[in-house]
Structures are given as C-alpha cells and as structure tokens.
Amino acid sequence: MKLFITRIVLKLEHFRQWLIAQLMFGFLNFLKIFPADGAIRFADWLVRKIGPRMPRHKLMLVNLRNAFPEKSDAEIEEIALGSWGNMGRLAAEYVFLDRLFDFDPERSEPVRIEVSGIPLFLDLRDNPRPFIVFTGHTGNFELLPVAGAAFGLHVTVLFRPPNNPYVAQKVFDFRSARMGKLVPSHAGSSFTLARQLEAGQGVGVLVDQKFRKGLKTKFFNLDVTTNPLVPKLVRQFDCEVYPARCIRLPGNRYRLEIEPKFEIPRDSKGNLDLTAMAQMLNDKVESWVRQYPEQWLWYHDRWKIKGKVLN
C-alpha cells in the first residue's frame, strides 16, 4: 500500500512540474508575438504586479532590510519591486537573446550592447592560458558567455539547473546552443572544470549562490558560507581570475564589463589564502549589488536566515 501511495505522489509531483513548465513555456511563446522591447517592458510590468503577492516577497524584504539597515521601508519596497521587474526582464530576454546581442566593435553608431574591457577579452582569446571569469546574478548575467562566444572566447560555464526537470532540459538546450560548453553543477562538476583549466582553457562561474558547507565569510556584513570551488581551482592551477558583470541601462540596453584580474591573496608562506580569496569574491559582488541593488536576485535565502531580520 505504501509503495502504491508513493507512486501516486510521485506521479502527481511530476504532473505538477510538467504543468508549471508548460505554463512558463506558454508565456514565453506568447512574448514572441511582440517586438523585443515591448515584450521585455511588459514582462517587467507584469512581474512587478505579481511578485509582491508571492510568498518569496517576504524573504526578499527581509534580505533587503538585513543588507541595508540604513534604508527606509519605502526604499526597500522600491528595490524589491525593481528586483521583481528584473526577473521579469530576465524571462523575456531569454526569448530574444539572439536578437539582443548586437555588439559590433566596427560600428560607430550606438547599439543595444556596449562592452567595457575589450582588450582583456582579446588578450584572453589571443594568448590562451587557464583562467576563471566569475560573476553574480546581476543584470542579465546570461549575456556574458554570449559575449565571450562573440569574441571567439569560448568559456566552459558552470551553472545550476532549475529544480523543475522539464524547465531544466529546455534551459540547457537553449543555453548550450548559444553559450558554448555547459557544466551542470553536481558532485563531479569540479573535476570537469579542472580538466578545462588543465588544458589551458577558461571557465565561468557564478559565485553568489547559497552553499550549505563552505568557507566562513561575510556578505553585506552578515555571516555566509561561500563555495570554495574557485579558490581551490586557483590554488591548484595558479590561474588568473577576472570579475565580469552585466549592467542594465535605460532603454533596454546593457553594458558588459570585464575587469582587470584579481591580485591573489597569499599567507605569510606564500600559499593562497582560501578564505581571503572567497571573501574577495563576496566583496566584489557586494560592490556591484550596492551600486545597482534592484538588478540582483534578492529572493534567494543567501544567508540561510529563514526570514529573520538580523539588524
């Protein structure tokens, strides 16, 4: 009897996930009817209306109050709404990703995409060596590997698949057609990245995700555990590390930035300091988020505080 009930529950869960996926795909297909700019603005407007009614909105407000204790309730609400709008834009931009990336260094007139740090892109492409590019969930972070591929700089990207298996497969197929080699995060993903670095190639990593067990660090002056993957890879391969981000600009435009390489922190014996390295990653992402707080995804429980105001 228990086995029968378990099978029924699993089938119902699979059906629930399938239904959610079909609703999402239906919405994205609906957006294809419209021009990109109109669809992106509509998705922003719609999610701003829906988001505050979702259970995650409460966690988002708590996260913002903990990160910005100096801000008023009105300022917190404004950032939260902006963050929901950012998520709506992300969804719509998936549909038009091929059309959005129009950067051409030979063109003099303004385009939708502008790129800062072109000499770094070209140097990494023309002088192959192992390197890591890291970013956070800011702006449309999906555009970064697209930009790399456009410059002929193919980077192996580590990503966390969505929990919904139907959505995960669709996302993987879409990304892999536009972003080069993808590595879903799982127990063996670090070995795949290590092989890429060992072969003198580059990898891309998001470093602002919640991690259950990791290096004890700070993020917005609050305790977090940070994935030691990047510091350990740097220690093993002595590779260069570059910060990169996407910034949303007015008029559905974007600026992609790659910054100069990090100075690797070392202890008194000259060994790489893992915790200091992890803290540097957090500090860089925090500086980006403080500059454009509405462009970060605040609905994750990054601090594992379960909705508690700590300040």
Residue-level pLDDT at 242: 96
Beta carbons within 8 Å of 142's beta carbon, 6+ residues apart? 90, 93, 94, 97, 175, 179
Residue-level pLDDT at 249: 95
Q: Work out the number of other CB atoms within 10 angstroms of the CB of residue 63.
A: 26
Strand 202-206 vs strand 240-249: parallel, antiparallel, or unpaired? Answer: unpaired
Alpha-carbon distance values, 251 to 41, 67, 149 (Å): 10, 28, 25
Burial of 102 (0-12, 13-18, 19+ CB in 10 A): exposed
Per-residue confidence of the chain (311 residues) as pLDDT tens digits? 666 566 665 666 666 777 776 777 777 777 878 888 999 999 999 999 999 999 999 999 999 999 999 999 999 999 999 999 999 998 888 888 777 878 776 665 668 888 899 899 899 999 999 999 999 999 998 888 888 887 888 888 886 766 666 666 666 666 555 566 767 676 677 888 889 999 999 999 999 988 878 899 999 999 999 999 999 999 999 999 999 999 999 999 999 999 999 999 988 888 899 999 999 999 999 999 999 999 999 988 888 766 565 55
End-to-end CA distance of the chain: 50
Beta carbons within 8 Å of 70's beta carbon, 6+ residues apart? none
161, amino acid identity = P
Burial of 269 (0-12, 13-18, 19+ CB in 10 A): exposed
SS3 for 223?
A: strand
